[in-house]
Amino acid sequence: MAEVGTRHWYVLRAISGKEKKVKELLEMEIAKAGLGTYISQVLIPMEKFFQIRDGKKVSKERNLYPGYVLLEA
C-alpha cells in the first residue's frame, strides 16, 4: 500500500494537437470536483527550439511527447 502523501505520475493519451485543451478541461474538472489536494499538477512537456525565419532567429515551443499529458497524483 502506498504511503500517505506519496505522489505518482500517470500518462494520459490525448489526440495529438489537443493536449492544451485536455489540460484545460482536466484542471477545470479537478477544481470543480475539489480534487486539488489529490492531484498536484497536470503537465504537457514542452521543448524550446530556435528556428530561422526570414533571416531572424525565432524561439518556438513544441510538445516533447505529442499526444500525451502527464498527471501527478
At 71, the pLDDT band (50, 70, 90 cuts) reads very high
CA quadruple 45, 47, 48, 52: dihedral sign: negative
Q: Name the pTM for this structure.
A: 0.79
Residue 69 has a CB neighbour count (10 Å cut-off) of: 21
- Asked if the model's pLDDT at residue 1 lies above 70, the reply is no
Report how far residue 30's alpha carbon sits from residue 14's, in angstroms, rounded to the nearest whole number. 17
CATH number of 9-72: 3.30.70.940
- The model's pLDDT over 18-48, given as tens digits with 9 standing for 90+, comes to 999 999 999 999 999 999 999 999 999 999 9
Domain parsing of the chain, residue ranges: 9-72
| Structure-block grid coordinates of residue 12 | 494520459
Report the C-alpha gap between 18 and 20 in whole angstroms: 6
Does the pLDDT of residue 4 top 70, yes or no?
no
